[in-house]
Amino acid sequence: MRIENNTDDKMLIIRKVETVSKKKTDRKKSTNTKSRTNVLKPLLAFIAILVLIGLAFFFGTRYGSLKNRSSGQPQPTAMPNKPGNGGTASGDNKPAPTNAAVQMQNVTLTLYFPSANGDSVVPEQRLVQVNQGEMLEEVIFHQLQKGSLSSDTGAIIPKGTKLLSIGTKEGICTLDLSAEFVDNNPGGTAFEAALINSVVNSLTELPQVKKVQFLINGQKREVYT
């Protein structure tokens, strides 16, 4: 009988210990749950406030836009900020001047002028300034009009000659000249040969020019190479 009683007592003690342990565990869980709830409550409240503010801003902006449209008032647009006194636009503003030196480049041209006795043409190196986008063919012709700088032969291009147009296509440089190129030509086989050779040799120094086509007031003359 004592053995049975001892066994029963032990069982009761074990059950009490388990009950106490379970209560402690339940208390810990309850405490953890409460602490988590206490942390989440302000966070959820803050998120809810942000959502409400966002919704209020969205619907307020939309309402204002619809109200402006219904009233026919145009929406304000941002004006470009123009330089001026005190940050305001000024009618006296002028575009900044461009640097002409940046738009020009020095080019060495090989020009041909009649020799001293006029029976041939001789090369002359000339350093010239060329504007950006200016055609070298046009520059060469105008330099020929100025004449040689190293001899007294004078200008080879007949006086009064105007360059009506000039351009190179498929290796052929076509230059259209005014009637003075023919009318003011002093004549003579030697001069005409020197004149043609001066123009043709000077232009064919350019790598893109293989032949030269002369036009007088748009009318074709011979093609020279």
pLDDT at 167: 94
Domain boundary pick from 10, 35, 62: 62
Q: At what angle do helices 136-146 and 189-203 cross, to 10 degrees?
A: 140
What total number of domains does the chain contain?
A: 2
* Residue 42 included in any domain: yes
Asked if pLDDT for residue 99 goes beyond 60, the answer is no
- Residue 89 has what pLDDT? 42
Please indicate, yes or no, if residue 29 is contained in any of the structural domains.
yes
- Given a cut of 90, whether residue 107 has pLDDT beyond it is yes
Indicate if 142 and 206 belong to the same structural domain: yes
Which residues does 180 contact at the CB level (< 8 Å), separation at least 6? 158, 159, 160, 161, 162
Q: In the block, which residue shows the tokens 């296509």? A: 169
Looking at the structure, do residues 216 and 135 belong to the same domain, yes or no? yes
More confident call, 82 vs 157: 157
The average pLDDT across 172-196 equals 89
pLDDT, residue 36, reads 65
Whether residue 74 is contained in a domain is answered as no
Is residue 142 over pLDDT 90? yes
- What percent of the chain has a predicted confidence (pLDDT) above 70? 62
Containing domain of residue 6, as a range?
A: 1-62
Q: Are 196 and 140 members of one domain?
A: yes
pLDDT at residue 162 in the model: 95
For residue range 154-173, list pLDDT tens digits in order.
Answer: 678 999 999 999 999 999 99
Question: How large a percentage of the chain has pLDDT more than 90?
Answer: 35
Give the residue with greater pLDDT, 133 vs 162: 162
Residues 139 and 217 in one domain: yes
Q: Per-residue pLDDT for 100 more than 60?
A: no
116 against 77, higher pLDDT: 116
Q: Which of 16-25, 51-60, 215-224 has the lowest mean pLDDT?
A: 16-25
- What mean pLDDT is predicted for residues 12-27? 63
Q: Are residues 122 and 50 in the same domain?
A: no
- Looking at residue 76, what is its pLDDT? 44
Average pLDDT over residues 196-213: 95
Take residue 146 and report the two structure tokens written for it.
């100025």
Domain identity same for 111 and 218: yes
